[in-house]
Amino acid sequence: MMSVYAEVVLSLPLTQTFTYIVPDAYQNLAKIGSRVLVPFHRRSLTGFIVGLRKRRKTKDYDLREIQDVLDAKPIFSPDFLSFTQELSAHHFSSWGEMLQSSLPPSYVPKSRTRVGLTEQGKLAIQHDSLSEEERRVLRLLQRGFYSRAYVKRKARVDHLSSLISRMEKKGFIQVKSEVKKSIRRRKKTDALSPVQLEMDFSVDEKSLQAIDSISKLVGKEVFSPFYLHAPQEAREAVYFNLIRKVLDVEKTVLFLVPEISLTKTLQAKFEKRFGEKAALFHSQLSEKKREGEWERINEGRADVVAGARSALFSPLTNVGMIIVDEEQDDSYYQRESPSYDARKGAWLRAKKASSILIYGSSMPSVEAYYCARNEGYLLRLGEKSDKRRVEFVGDRPKNGVIADRVVQRIEENLWGKESTLVFFNRRGYVSFLVCPRCRYMPRCTRCDVAMSYHKKEEKLVCHYCGHSTVKQDVCPECGSWIRLGRSFGIEVVEEELRRKFPQSRVKSFDTDDVRSKKEQERILSQFEKKKIDILLGTQLLAHQMSLSPTALVIILYPELLLTLPDFRASQKTFQAVYQMAKFINRHGVAEILIQTSVPVHYSIRCAAFEDYDSFYSQEIKYRRIMNYPPFSHVAEVVLTGENLRTLAKESRNFSSLVREQDAQIETLGPALASLARIRGKYRVQVVLKAKKKRTLNRVLRESLKRVKSRKTVFLYG
């Protein structure tokens, strides 16, 4: 038979493909989109065939053969491969890693490397020429084959890789690569869930106009983007009307939400209306459940898929509509490798499928709103008016952290038998401890940040890697007593509320106090039944869709977000305040109190009154003056590694390459990232700003080829 060569992408942080020979036995089975097992260095890895040819690219090197084809029929369609390739190229991410992350874990065979003795190694144990480390390793391996990690731990060897390589060359040991294929059992088909036949949603005239505008394009197979700027209830009514119309023409729907917690709310609504046609898909499903949902979607037994950003990669075919709700949420951006923005991914997938794309939000991101308005695909349904009162409290109390006016209003609310919501977005008791004499601060040993003090547990905690230690009372540098820093957290607010309202039932809701979903649901239920008088929480509480509205919402120091080293700090502040204020009771006279030192800042004031137009007009002026997105395109290139000297050298070389290629690109850095070290890895960043996206892409594509360190590219604009 004529030789066939396969182009394979591997789940490694690489942008290149690898060529392998397809053995005669597999030539009828190897298809584009199939998983294969291939040799790579000393290991066997799972790869994905993305191309087949009968002529090899070059004869400069020998090729290795595919070891196994894992699928009877391709697991990825050509359209899906094309979409993921485009998305990975857009974000300069690994195509192979993106494909692997789109599969359930059980679909990726586990490979492991094990080390054992050769006959020559058994004879060499008694040789005097062996080093002490070699002797320890050989004696350990007399009992059998073991993993590298086990050998390193038991033999107490520091540089194991170089030692194994040296001993393998001497013929003392052999390295085996073993592949363990997961067993997947066929799931029983579940009985159909009951479906609600009534689909009559109460929609106003503007909503009907929006539905008519979009529904005209249902089934036309033309890429059609829309931005629905509307309150949640109005958006939801439009969504479900359109979903029904899409299903009527035998198309499928992908519905994305930013938070995994929101998928449970969606699941109940979808199952009620669509029954077995709806599937839930996100990364926190159990391995068994995720595999079952993936197979159900892949087999065409689900017409509606709802989930967080990873649902973008669900194997849905014949897509007629993609909905991205709460478009403004940064949770859509995956910052771990492979990095990608699901909002951009939705655009690319909808374009590839020639389908309708709907972004929706009541507080759009500035860039998306600017594009939608300028390009004519913005649909506005108007905000709900309510009888809320907003009061800004600017006085900082002499004792404590809560202003007297805020205390007074809580007292009045309690007298009226009403519950109160209090938001403060900072964890712990204080953000740092400090020695007043030598300025020593306890810092995380793995991250370049001060550790926060949590009084309830008497611990110092790193909020980036989770490492914790017992609180220090004495400075290890000079022996002085360590004091609390001035940057207080939610535990201080809770302590003060309990002190000032000793008869009231006060409960805190943050990631340190509420660790499980069941506990969250229990607290929210208690608040709804008025068994909690004052519920205090961070942004975690603001994200709870089932949180009951109340007559008094208090927001403490929202300006903390304005100090972020981010050109979107005002936008983030607006969104946070808007989200917290939405829990005000709209059916009676209710009040929002905002305690802030900058009550005149437009992001805080506009959010309190739900005035997106005023916020946008101010923010877009600022963006235009500073030449920030949407008036430019920004790329943040972050290099990570254990050796800071190597990163510094590579980042300097990268910056020089960028300047050589295009002097018009504004280059900031290289410099240590705002978080210079996380989980033991140093981080160096270079920020690029260009007028045209095409220019930025070209320069990045050429310059990143020379960077060998692990890198991640974040794109804005």
Residue 474 lies in a domain: no
583 contacts 421 by C-beta, under 8 angstroms: yes
Cβ-based burial of 117 (10 A; exposed 0-12, middle 13-18, buried ≥19): buried
Asked if residue 405 and residue 271 are part of one domain, the reply reads no
Tokens 């001497």 sit at which residue? 170
**Residue 481 DSSP label:** B
Residue 261 lies in a domain: yes
Residue 476 lies in a domain: no
Backbone torsions φ then ψ of 463, nearest 5 degrees: -80, 5
Asked if residue 346 and residue 291 are part of one domain, the reply reads yes
pLDDT score recorded for residue 158: 63
pLDDT score recorded for residue 582: 87
pLDDT score recorded for residue 190: 45
Number of domains in the chain: 5
Asked if residue 308 and residue 174 are part of one domain, the reply reads no
* Domain span including residue 138: 112-180
The domain spanning residue 655 has which CATH number? 3.30.70.600
Asked if residue 121 and residue 94 are part of one domain, the reply reads no
Residue 475 lies in a domain: no
Asked if residue 8 and residue 137 are part of one domain, the reply reads no
Q: Which of 577, 600, 626 is where one domain is finished? A: 626
Asked if residue 398 and residue 529 are part of one domain, the reply reads yes
Asked if residue 682 and residue 566 are part of one domain, the reply reads no
Asked if residue 63 and residue 32 are part of one domain, the reply reads yes
Please count the residues of the chain: 717
Residue 660 lies in a domain: yes
- Secondary structure element (H or E) that encloses residue 237, with its range: helix 232-248
- Helix %, strand %, coil % for the chain, to 5? 35, 25, 40
Helix (H, G, I), strand (E, B) or coil at 540: helix
Strand order across the beta sheet in which 452-454 lies: 452-454, 459-461, 468-470
Q: Which of 575, 610, 626 is where one domain is finished? A: 626
The domain spanning residue 532 has which CATH number? 3.40.50.300
Asked if residue 236 and residue 160 are part of one domain, the reply reads no
Which positions of the chain have pLDDT values less than 70? 1-2, 57-60, 110-112, 126, 128, 148, 157-159, 177-202, 260-268, 271, 273-276, 383-387, 586-588
Residue 335 lies in a domain: yes
Helix axes 644-661, 693-703, angle to 10 degrees: 130
pLDDT score recorded for residue 188: 47
595 contacts 393 by C-beta, under 8 angstroms: yes
Residue 455 lies in a domain: no
DSSP 308-341: SGGGGGS---SEEEEEEESTT-GGGEE-SSSPEE
Asked if residue 512 and residue 398 are part of one domain, the reply reads yes
Structure pTM? 0.85
pLDDT score recorded for residue 198: 44
Output the CA torsion sign for 716, 223, 320, 212.
Answer: positive
Asked if residue 672 and residue 621 are part of one domain, the reply reads no
H helical segments located in 566-662: 569-581, 602-608, 612-626, 644-661
Give residue 629's identity as a one-letter amino acid code. P
Asked if residue 174 and residue 148 are part of one domain, the reply reads yes
- Secondary structure element (H or E) that encloses residue 378, with its range: strand 378-380
Residue 481 lies in a domain: no
636 contacts 670 by C-beta, under 8 angstroms: no
The domain spanning residue 12 has which CATH number? 3.40.1440.60
Q: Which of 109, 133, 164 is where one domain is finished? A: 109
